[in-house]
Amino acid sequence: MNDRPHDIVVFGATGFTGALTAEYLARHAGGVRWALAGRNPAKLEKLRSDLAAADPALGELHLLRADAEEPDSLRDVAAATRVVITTVGPYIRYGEPLVAACAEAGTDYVDLTGEPEFVDLMYTRYHERAARTGARIVHCCGFDSIPHDLGAYFTVQQLPEGVPIKLEGFVRGGGTLSGGTLESAVTAFSRVRQLAEASGERRKLEPRSDVRRVRGVRGIPKRQGSIGGWALPMLTIDPVIVVRSARALDRYGPDFSYSHYLVLKRLPVALGLPVGMAGLFALAQVPPARKWLMGRRKPGEGPSPEQRAKAWFKVRFEGEGGGRRAVTEVSGGDPGYGETAKMVSEAALCLAQDELPASAGQVTTAIAMGDALTDRLRRAGIGFEVLEKS
């Protein structure tokens, strides 16, 4: 691995989030051999020139041509680096060839997916191969799902060891969707049957413990007085990732449960959100309506710097175990883009540079990086705070 010419390659560097990721690495990857990859050489040249305007040394960045529809080009990228960052979605459409290449080459992989179907399919198809080659395949390394996965792990560490633990997560925030995020969400809504099939196939293969009990609990809507808002069950990939970390790590205790909520201040908004989501889901089932939805914002388009500057997130965790209680909070700025670029970059830097627990195959951030990544993110400005401990 150390003989490879690059430590990190950013695939999809000319997309909206990919460019933000490249800009973050330009500021924070000193001493790391990194490169840009994408299918359009002219756009890669333009991005490199933009980066070099701030730091002339970046004019020497290597550029690699790679296309999601040309598997040979992705195998070349995987063979040339220790870690790949990919921002090319929807991942269910474009992601598999790169996972396959990294699993075969023993190359560590991080992405920004929040697509459960894709994650489950990649487990069934490539987990065993990656485990044999030593590749760490780490999905969901942006706002989906680092604050939730590492935040849950951080909270559990504030509670006694070896005791049953009940944990709830409450998400608040504000921001604007990019075209790529919208396309990924609508695509996922249109593939419910395929999602169920992928989940079922994974359950057949995934080992379960006979001595520990770990489960996700779908909560019910409620008034959350500790936050001053209305909590609605949040059916995203985040609680699934938390539960997978808990199944793999004994520190979560012999009996662990997790519930995940979105918190809204105003009751009318809380009542209207399920109706709006049901309408979006219904539209996604109809091809012309699905095309119309995706056309509301084109891939590569995203919120302005001014919009991103106003965006924010806070995830509060309330945990109980062994007669003790811990309340923590993970917080930051623009969740979908600025902080997501930071998270995926720091995850890649962590895999490339830090001494980490042994792991391989498809793993979560808590399993692969744990405290090392939490420490990196804290130094980078993401808050991990203990609010209460009793």
Give 224-247 as a 3 state SS string: ECCCCEEEEECCCCHHHHHHHHHH
Residue 335's pLDDT band, with cuts at 50, 70 and 90, is very high
Helix or strand holding residue 271 (H, E): helix 267-284
pLDDT value at 103 more than 80: yes
- Whole-number mean pLDDT of the chain? 92
pLDDT value at 1 more than 70: no
Burial grade of 113 (CB within 10 A; 0-12, 13-18, 19 or more) = buried
Q: Which residues of 333-353 are buried (b: 16+ CB within 10 A; e: fewer)?
A: bbbbbbbbbbbbbbbbbbbbb
Q: Which amino acid is at 11?
A: F
Least trusted range by pLDDT, from 24-38, 43-57, 269-283: 269-283
Q: Which pairing describes strands 108-111 and 34-38: parallel, antiparallel, or unpaired?
A: unpaired
DSSP-assigned beta bridge partners for residue 224:
229
Average pLDDT over residues 152-176: 95
Instruction: Report how many helices (DSSP H) and strands (DSSP E) the chain contains, helices first.
Output: 16, 15
Residue 185 has a pLDDT of 72
Q: Cα-flanking dihedrals φ and ψ of residue 302, to 5°?
A: -160, 180
Question: Domains in the chain, please, with CATH?
Answer: 6-142+340-372 (3.40.50.720), 146-335+383-389 (3.30.360)
Residue 313's pLDDT band, with cuts at 50, 70 and 90, is very high
Residue 174 has a pLDDT of 84
DSSP-assigned beta bridge partners for residue 84:
9, 109
Average pLDDT over residues 273-290: 73
Give the torsion through C-alpha atoms of 207, 84, 344, 48, to 10 deg.
-170
Q: What is the pTM of this model?
A: 0.93
